[in-house]
Amino acid sequence: MSNARLTPLAASLPSTVPFTGPEELERRRGAPFTARLGANENGFGPSPLALAAMQDANGGIWQYGDPTSHDLRRALAAHWGCEAGHIVVGGGIDGLLCDLVRLTVTAGDNIVTSLGAYPTFNYHVAGFGGQIHTVPYRNDGEDLPALIAKAAETDAKLIYFANPDNPMGSYVPGTEIAAALDALPQGTLLVLDEAYGELAPEDALTGLPMDDPRLIRMRTFSKGYGMAGARIGYAMGHPDLITAFDKVRNHFGLNRAAQAGALAALADTDWLCHIRAEVATSRAALARIGAAHGLTALPSATNFVALDTHRDGTFARALVAGFAAEGIFIRMPFVAPQDRCIRVSCGPARDMALFEEALPRALAHAEASLTATA
């Protein structure tokens, strides 16, 4: 038995992670997937300039990365028209969420999120003893006014709100977000997760100044920029809050190659335009493929599409298993009624062809498995 003495809170938590990764699923099935369409990775890849910058940086990988991410923060500040003091760089949005929760949440503190929204936020809140209050989706989108009302009811410290949303792909115009903040309770911070922001319509932006004390915005190089494996993201907010991250963040948590790649990716606007076009083509392909087999694509502002099976969660889970049997990795929402859908990441034409070929067999697999258990 280990000599480590866990805190009562840690001892009470399950040993689990929010997601089972595709690598673990491959080990369980004893074979690799032929298409990874479940983690919303950018299968079109990062900018060639970013790849070259990361390769060049490898010669200095024996050195720690700059703990202040000086050059990247200044480039981001120029990109967003703000000051570097409004920005903190961290290990993807997941790492930044952990830091934020550590800064603001302790045992018994309340937070509010949507039922079925991105579960990693809840994972961090539970890890610091916070109490999670949820609000259901409305019309397959997160309901910000209802989230704010629940925050007022519970004296919540944080509201988590993703725009665009994962897992449904919907988005709210930024003007609606800005207007909704008029009702935000004093002492409540809106955590605005914009992981898919580079792929969303321009009107998704709130237009609010970066130093607005009511919210913190989080972005990543994992999605539109195609650098999920580099684990690099950033948060933008009031300088007082951004400075507070220095109290808890891992100051040497970013490697030099990731910092160099992000800097180059940010500058390669042509590649980002290329990615947006590829994603739009793939979204249209998924809608076409789904429609040919009775599935309806929900409107998406992301690099994935939620396909409505017009059945229930049991059928959707069987369909996910059917795709796995065909060597295709996809996922699905996990809370009803959104769990009637499957969620499929955009990808190159090869992956779309594999998905199209597998779909009728996966549907037959789902029907057969449900018949066998009836």
pLDDT one-digit tens code per residue, 86-120: 999 999 999 999 999 999 999 999 999 999 999 99
Residue that finishes a domain, picked among 246, 267, 288: 267
Do 281 and 356 lie in one domain? The reply is yes
Residue 35: strand pairing partners: 328
pLDDT at 372: 87
- The string of pLDDT tens digits covering residues 168-205 is 999 999 999 999 999 999 999 999 999 999 999 999 99
Do 183 and 66 lie in one domain? The reply is yes
C-alpha torsion angle, residues 333, 174, 80, 105 (rounded to 10): -60
Nearest to 57 by CA among 268, 265, 259: 259
Q: How far apart are CA 148 and CA 183, in angstroms?
A: 7
**CB-based burial label for 27 (10 Å; 0-12, 13-18, 19+):** exposed
Q: Please name the residue that has the structure tokens 């990109």.
A: 79
Q: How far apart are CA 217 and CA 161, in angstroms?
A: 10
Do 321 and 309 lie in one domain? The reply is yes
Pairing type for strands 110-114 and 35-36 reads unpaired
Do 210 and 282 lie in one domain? The reply is no
Q: How far apart are CA 236 and CA 210, in angstroms?
A: 6
User: Are residues 227 and 262 in contact, defined by beta-carbon separation less than 8 angstroms?
Assistant: yes
Q: Which domain holds residue 91?
A: 48-267
How many domains in the chain? 2
The percentage of residues in the chain with a pLDDT greater than 70, rounded to a whole number, is 100
In a domain, 1, yes or no: no
- The string of pLDDT tens digits covering residues 35-88 is 999 999 999 999 999 999 999 999 999 999 999 999 999 999 999 999 999 999
Residue that finishes a domain, picked among 216, 243, 267: 267
